[in-house]
Structure 1
């Protein structure tokens, strides 16, 4: 594959991801974009539930399925290894775009908080959640996670790089999956919870818990063995309810897809 073409492809995939991520903030928070959780297409309640559940299920299947090691081994027979990560990022972004486009609103209120200080506090908490997600990708390796390092290395004619050692730093000394914690904070911190928003928050929370516990951490244990088992014992998974036990300068992972190199899974 042309090295320049691979680099351009990776840059396009990253741009699509970045725009999708920014749209997701508006979609969940309910402002600044044409369609949000509570503002967009409508349908009878039963039909809306079915459509929304199918969209969320499609994302879960794509996101975890394409991150599955056996699928990646098969997939890279046809997709050049340097652009495999970029292709994963592109597919995840396209499925999210489909969700934003076809989401059916369920605007019936579950709770409505009218106190201005409380509303602004919840908006600030949601913003902190999104900031935790974005900054957490830089704590590990943002450009590796979204495929840019791979296409850049290929364009520079570098050979295969050695797998990075397992290290934990910053947020990863407090919880094992800070990116997922950031998503949960962002999804639940709202002063106006509708049925549709509650459905979205419940289903994404369930997916995150299952993906982290039974997919991501299983793969990390298989990859790093006792090193990761010790990390599991020392650092809580999502809620910082206990302090880490003497962590060294040791990079970790997230469930939004297995990160290239396997240290972060996300929403892999």
Structure 2
């Protein structure tokens, strides 16, 4: 793969993922997309559960598999090392798109709110989206999506090395990006059985993924990350610890 072609590949992967993620926002809210989570003709419940479970499994399996170091070591014998992250982003977008395309509606309502409560739910959804986006830029947005690695290769610079840092939201929870994603999954004014199944199963996958990610971070950063684990919760901010920081004498 020529370097200009590699750069184009990285940019296309980046845009494909962002389009898929933005589509997911509309998919979950049922806004401005041709197919939302509750659209379509419902089939029998066991078939819908089986198909939806398979779709979530496929997304989670490949998303987790390609994040493992042993897989990366083998995979990068087939593709350029600098394209590994972009390819990971591409597969995430592809399987997320596949999930939304073939998702089976289960429209039985679990809850439904309107008025001020609906506005509050939309606000939580927006907070989740902003948290996800902000979290990527607080660490390294371009490295996370593979563009920094490709650019470094294109200009003959060394590949960026991982740096441990805990800016802003990362001082409140260790994984604000995943917290934002979970908020997006659950924040809807009309929660159907299908939407709840999506939110729960995808959140379970997030928690499983975090288990493996935490192990990888401990291997990579050692005692520094273990100390971080003792001081900062994984997903849910600790209000008492925040209060203690605020009242701590100078």
TM-score, normalised by the number of residues in structure 1: 0.87
Tell me which residue corresponds to 1:73.
Answer: 73
Q: How much does 1:29 deviate?
A: 1.6
* Kept in 2: contact 1:41–1:102 (CA 8 A): no
Tell me which residue corresponds to 1:238.
Answer: 235
Tell me which residue corresponds to 1:130.
Answer: 129
Residue deviations 1:210-229, cap 9 Å, x none? 221x2010111111111000
Could you say what secondary structure the match of 1:243 adopts? helix
Give the RMSD, CA atoms, in angstroms. 1.4
Alignment of 1:1-268 (within 5 A): 1-40=1-40, 42-114=42-114, 116-161=115-160, 163-212=161-210, 214-241=211-238, 242-243=240-241
Instruction: Mark the runs of 5 or more structure 2 residues left unpaired by the alignment.
Output: 246-250
d(CA) in 2 for partners of 1:183 and 1:226?
28
Residue deviations 1:10-30, cap 9 Å, x none? 011111111111101111122
Q: How much does 1:44 deviate?
A: 1.7
Q: How much does 1:135 deviate?
A: 1.2
* Kept in 2: contact 1:174–1:243 (CA 8 A): no
* Kept in 2: contact 1:132–1:182 (CA 8 A): yes
* Kept in 1: contact 2:149–2:159 (CA 8 A): no
In the alignment of these two chains, the number of paired residues is 243
d(CA) in 1 for partners of 2:81 and 2:209?
24
Could you say what secondary structure the match of 1:19 adopts? helix
Q: How much does 1:48 deviate?
A: 0.8
d(CA) in 1 for partners of 2:146 and 2:159?
14
* Kept in 2: contact 1:34–1:40 (CA 8 A): no
Tell me which residue corresponds to 2:248.
Answer: none
Could you say what secondary structure the match of 2:241 adopts? coil
Q: How much does 1:41 deviate?
A: 5.2
Instruction: Mark the runs of 5 or more structure 1 residues left unpaired by the alignment.
Output: 247-268
Q: How much does 1:164 deviate?
A: 3.3
d(CA) in 2 for partners of 1:165 and 1:136?
15
Residue deviations 1:149-174, cap 9 Å, x none? 1111111122334x233111010000
d(CA) in 1 for partners of 2:159 and 2:229?
30
Given the superposition, is the C-alpha separation of residues 44 and 155 from structure 1 closer, same or farther in structure 2, using an over 3 Å criterion?
same
| Structure 1 residue ranges, 4+ long, deviating more than 6 angstroms after superposition | none
* Kept in 1: contact 2:28–2:188 (CA 8 A): no
TM-score, normalised by the number of residues in structure 2: 0.94
